[in-house]
Each structure stands twice: as C-alpha cells, then as structure tokens.
Structure 1
C-alpha cells in the first residue's frame, strides 16, 4: 500500500487515527508495517494511532506471527461513509459521468453533498473540482431511480409487473403486463428486457418512459441461458425500418471487434470464414458510416438505400484524397 497522497505533515493525529481505523476495517489482518506505509509514519507511530483508537473504546484486535495483523473486533459498527481518497474520487467521477442517466440531477447532487461533508479537508478540493465537470448531456433525461430499482428487483424475484408505458412522448400511455427478465444500461440509457403479455412478444422498453408500475401476483421463470445485455443489444439492432444485410469477408469473431452487437446480428456463413451482418436502420447514411469501421471487404446485399449511401460515402472519401 502506498502512502495516501493527501496526507501532509500538517495532518492531525486524529485524522491519521481515523484513517488507520478505515484501513483496518477495509483490510482485516493488515500488518503494522503496511499500516505504517499507508499512513506515512514509522511502525511505532502506527502502533500509537492504534492505541488512540483503543482509548476511544474501539476494539482493535491484534495477532502476532507471520500472518498476524490488526482487525476490528466483533460487535463494533464503523461509522458510515468511511471512504478512502481513491474511493471518494472514483465514486464522484462515476456519479458525474452518469448524472444525465438519472431522472433529475437533484438526488445525485444531494448524495454528493453528503459524501463531501464526511471527507477530510484535503480531499474536498479535488472532489469539488470534479463536481464542476459538465457534459452536454447533463440535462435530466433518465428514469426515476425508484422505478429502475423496483424493476431490477422484480426481475431478480421473478414477479410479473403491470406498467403504464408511453411508447412515444406524443402518444397516450398504455398499460401492459410484463415479465421483467432483466434491466440493462446501454449507451447511457436504461432498458427493460421482458416478455409482454399484452403484445405476446419479447420487448425492450425504455425505463424513462415508464410512468407507473405495480407488482402482480403472477410469477415467471426467465428463459434458460438468457444474457440480458446481449439480448438487449440484438434487439436494438432490429425493428428500425429498413432491413439490412451485409456480407463481410471475415469470421464473426473478427467482425465483432469492428461492429458492436447493437449494430447487427452476426451470422457465420461459408463454414465461419465469412459473416452476414443482419440489422435494420432508419438512417442509411448513418449506418453506412458505421460500416466504414470494417477492416475487411464487405458487400451490401440490401437495402438499396444503404447501397446508395455507401456509394455517396465512398465518393466523398475518394474526393477527399485528391487526384491520384
């Protein structure tokens, strides 16, 4: 363990003692030498901080020998939110990155306020600097956290739910009974994969369009071997207007390195020597640009609109290169 970068010569003995408690709690059996290195002090000084904890009534136990070390005794409850510097900064970065994926930023910022209030003074500055980072997508647009958690729990428990769902912002909401197979986060958007008893079909629903939900008395078993994230990606590649078929002169495993799953389903052909990518799109020009990621020859079998888009893109690239 390296010395905590926010420890300075001015750090008070109380702060070091609290950090010692955090380290002992997080790493039961930590040796005196490792504790001293992390605190940036001698082994003797580390023992002194352990003594301060014991004088405060905290049952820090120690065992000697090769595999000995310090640990907090049974029955003691460590105060909440005992974060190391690295943990605090990582948590804030994750919260800032995902702020726009939550319905409303108030809850995220309130949680960050609580974290900041319990951090050492030396860490508050870097944390506050991270909080000021903004993204063009910071406007609220994600689902209600309570909705997301309830659906994730229903999926774990195998409980059918009744949703009030809006398929489009300008269309009225409707009720539907769904077996929630799982929740997935894809491209900064939350989705529910499940079986709709209303449509009698598999559906991928956006959580930010769920206006209400309630558990039902019905139970279900999800399909055997289901990979929720993969199924969501495949579903997102379908149902978007024109059907796409592209043959790539490379095996499926290699095509997967160039085209993510949500851009199409990969089907092996010619005994796996080549791949057919099957998808759909409402924007052929956009899809043509995605196909340009391929580092092997490919042929667009359809639709004609995608062939035309690839031709336009190719002409644009050739003109950009100038005369031969």
Structure 2
C-alpha cells in the first residue's frame, strides 16, 4: 500500500523528530530504511525532510546543519544541529500556546510542541489574554530588534491629523495593561519614543543597521509620571478602581462613592478621548481652561458625526 503524502505540518514535525533521532544516534547515524520504518514515511518524503533539515542554521553563528546520506546511512554532522533541552517560562509558554492556536497548527503537532516546551504550571489550555493588542507586525519587529535592522513605520499618534512615516531603530517591545508598545529611537527626532503596536499601519525593513543609542530604562508609568502635564479627574469610585492608565499617580476616595484621580499625560487628545468615552462619568476638577478645550473637542466630534 502506498504511503500517504505528508502535509506541510507533518513534514515539519517529522523533520524535528528525525533530527532528534539522528543527533541521538551520533556519528553512526541511521539507515534510510530504519528512518522510513520508524517514522512511517516514504523514501521520497525522507529526501524532502533531509532537504528541510539542511536548510536550518544557528541564528547567532550562521552555522548550517549538515544532514548527509552515505551508503544508505543518514548522518547529522556538526554542532549546529545539536538538540539541547529547552523549557519556556510561563510567559513565553503562554505566547507560544496562543500562536499555536491562532495559526491553526495541526493538533497532533501542536500537542507535541506543547509537551516538549511548555512548563507544567502553564497547562495546555491557558492562553494569552486576547485583549492584549500586539498589532500586525509583532513577529517582524521582534526579528528586526534581534537582527539590529533600521525600520520605516507608518504610524498615527493621537496628535497627528494623518498617519506619517517615521524612520526608527527598534529597541524593545513592552506590555502595559492591555496594550503592547514598541520602544524605538526616532532617527529624525533623535530621541526615544513609544509606539502602540496595534496602531502601526505599515512596516518596512530597510537595508541599514541600527545605530546603538543609550536608552532610557524607565517604564511607561515612570515616564508619564515625569511629564509636566497632569490633571485631577473626578469619577465614581468603582470606575477609579478599574482604570488601568499608565499615568495614574494617585487615587483618593472621598467617602461618597466618588474618587479624585491624578493622572499624568502626554497627549491632550488621549485624555479627551478617555473622558468622552466615559459618557459624562468623568469630570475635570482643577483646570477650567482644559475643561473648556474638552467641551470644544466634544462639540467638534458631535458636529463631525
């Protein structure tokens, strides 16, 4: 009976299995017949898998894995194919598990990856919270950061009328609450900036390498706390206990079911958006001029709609 042709997921899974087996076999390797029988594949599929293994390389050193066939024996050569034990942290495992589900990986292959990599405390059903907004370019930016590649991003901040391109050197990706941010060096502005990942509309990798900069290690909360703009807001106490804005400096209950919340902010448009979205539940307590600008902004939004 003919051996069924492998799917792409099965080829990948078998490639990992065979690479592990060849490493364990050492210099003697394994015969083609032994591999085909053990992993239930045809000779043609084995040739494809040998090709897949031979395209792999160590990302840091660039050393390629060499998988050769000598007198019907398949041998793994060199340390690039060394299979080392790897266990992910709970956070890394949660991201992996989420990606396995979102990419639609064949379930048996996904289950094997989970068993091999996920820590026991994570469990197979735990997911990354779907409210975390990572945007469309998370993977590409992770690679750009690792490889030191300068990028062009199209981004619209709350204070921009239209999206505009920025030439940046990506530094790191951080998460605050339900948002993920790219920390990067804006080449034109010659300064460090933060970009919400879900608001990056386009990403282009340039052929230039990043220039190393002395970066600030302050968190988003600390950075906003140093901002010169702050405001005291009045809102219901239960709402104050739920807000997760990075710039909150203090929350003080007044004993009547309301609270005053002091917030640092860098964008007036962001502040107005939060207040307007609350539908009248939030009021500005200490800045009449800011309250007037809020009313004007709300009126303009009402007029446009």
What TM-score results when the alignment is normalised by the length of structure 1? Answer: 0.38
What TM-score results when the alignment is normalised by the length of structure 2? Answer: 0.40
